[in-house]
Chains A and B, each alone.
Chain A
Amino acid sequence: MNLRKYLKVYKKFLHTSLASELEYKTNILVDLITAVLSLIGSIFLLSIFFQNNGSIGGWEFEQALIIQSIYTILNGITNTWFNPNLTEIVKHIREGTLDFVLLKPIDSQFFISLKKINPSGFLEIMLGFFLLLFCIRINQINLNLSFLTLSLITLSCSICILYSLWFFISTTTIWFVKTWNAIEVLRSFLYIGRFPLNSFSFSLRIFFSVFIPIAFITTIPSEVFLGLSQLWKILLEIIVTTVFLITSRKFWLFALKFYSSASS
């Protein structure tokens, strides 16, 4: 069966990349400290915003912390999977090694999106979940089944949108060869995901929900956690996710037609 083959291949990917990453053990420790400090820094910044204001864009400090925790989880996922793999595309294309990927009897998107893993991102994901649990306690959220399914759906939608965005930008490498900095631009825009969408002015809000759907990535899941989200928003997020996933796939297949290998 196909699925079983892919699972088996993925297990091998995990094994090889973990083995190579664990060679740099101090690096992982430094990355852990970085993740902790970065979370402290963001909370410090939030506390500056809230020191003289009760609420920002209708969000109280405890509620804004939920956004922070979801951002941290998603950032951890980005650092674990998206960042190491998708920056590798740039290398593949510049050095022409994408040929070897395309020759393999396996889906090329699967291969380049999941080949590598960076274990230090796990710690960030865990940090995010701890903060989320803490937020659930201080906001007195009742956990029930429908709530859990909804939050799981929105979170996985966010992950898919995020993945599509990264993959989309990395795919443009086929034409532009060097896109390190396009990734930097995406990163700096994603930074906005740490704050509630309502705290921005109207024009920026439109920009961040239409062009770069950061609104969907962190704000909607947080609203679900607070029980504020309307059903249409969740449905909209699912639709946006499907559109993004399909377009990024189509775009990859389209871009491959233009791939001409290095030095040819």
Chain B
Amino acid sequence: MISKLINRKIFTLLKVQYSNMLEYRVEIALWAISGIIPFFMLNIWTNNNLNESINISDVMLSRYFLCAFFVRQFSVVWVVFSFEEDSLMGKVSPYLIQPLNPFFRYFAQHLAEQITRFPFALIIAFFFFIFNPESIWIPNLSILFLSIVSTFLSFLIQFLIQSIVACLCFWTEKASSIERLLFIPTLFLSGLLAPVVSFPAYVKSWIYLTPFPYLIDFPANLLSGNETNISGGLSMQILWILLLFPLFKKIWSEGTKKYTAMGS
């Protein structure tokens, strides 16, 4: 009974958000295009033969960066920006009355956006293969399944981190600058611009303890067939989610107690 109710809620939310997202197709297409930085990086790597020193062939590296592009496409999170706007505009108050945590709404929004984005990402991948026909490969089903799971886990980690930052809106009003700060290590350490294997030893010694390499490097390596520790990576992802979730719940309950609607 209860699970049926939850199912219906989630289904309705997804349907509403999906039709909402379909209205902004051009927007989402442009957004997908703005994620092509990994391809420029690939160009620098292969054009200067930088990959020789890390023992990754051109083909494997191009697959890596293609997968990094894909993982990034499906783990983009912007909940803090939506939440900040809603909280500055006072839209959070009606959400709080509803018997549903408003973050479910944002969560459905993100999922719907990913579904809308999927065809555009495929088109970009298609063009990538036209320019690099030698890098076409078909991952086997179990690897494909595992990498979809790990991409989703990476999305969850980022969603949780941003939701925690978003809850800071209850205290500071402008939390997006903190998100921009957190984005810098995500950008440079997650493997979007350079695979983590290529990092110098003094960084590699501690980076696997942070969540960053599990955001893009791990799923991308898994999908592209580069060497990686599958069970270790997945368990680290789950561990981070288990750590972040109670933190989010705590900060959410503290924040809603602190919340005063705009104009009161």
B178, A52: Cβ atoms under 8 Å? no
Find out whether the CB atom of B47 lies under 8 angstroms from the CB atom of A201: yes
Instruction: State which of A41-49, A140-148, A154-162, A230-238 sits at the interface with chain B.
Output: A41-49
B174 engages A27 (CB within 8 Å): yes
A181 near B44: Cβ-Cβ < 8 Å: no
Chain B contact residues, majority secondary structure = helix
- Min Cβ gap B49→A in Å is 8
Contact of A188 among B28, B35, B199, B203 (CB under 8 A): B35
* Contact A41 B185, CB 8 Å, known A181-B27, A181-B34: yes
Quick check: A185 and B30 within 8 Å, CB to CB? Answer: yes
Q: How far, in whole Å, are A41 and B177 apart by their CA atoms in the complex?
A: 17
The answer on a CB contact under 8 Å between B34 and A199 is no
Known: A181-B30, A187-B34. A200 touches B44 (CB 8 A): yes
Q: Is the Cβ of B47 less than 8 Å from the Cβ of A48?
A: no
Look across to chain A and name the residue whose beta carbon is closest to the beta carbon of B47: A201
Cβ of B205 to closest chain A Cβ, rounded Å: 15
Tell which of B99-107, B151-159, B187-195, B256-264 binds the partner.
B187-195
A188 close to B34 (CB less than 8 A): yes
Q: In the bound complex, how far is the Cα of B37 from the Cα of A165, in angstroms? A: 19
Contact B181 A37 (CB under 8 A): yes
Within 8 A of B (CB), among A43-71: 44-45, 47-49, 51-53, 56-57
Measuring CB to CB, which residues of chain A are less than 8 angstroms from any residue of chain B? 24, 26-27, 30-31, 33-34, 37-38, 41-42, 44-45, 47-49, 51-53, 56-57, 176, 178, 180-182, 184-185, 187-188, 191-192, 195, 199-201, 204
Top 3 closest pairs, chain A to chain B, by CB: A52-B53, A41-B188, A181-B30
| 17 pairs from A and B in contact (CB 8 Å cutoff) | A30-B178, A30-B181, A37-B184, A38-B184, A41-B187, A45-B188, A47-B200, A48-B194, A52-B52, A52-B53, A56-B44, A176-B26, A181-B27, A184-B31, A199-B47, A200-B40, A204-B40
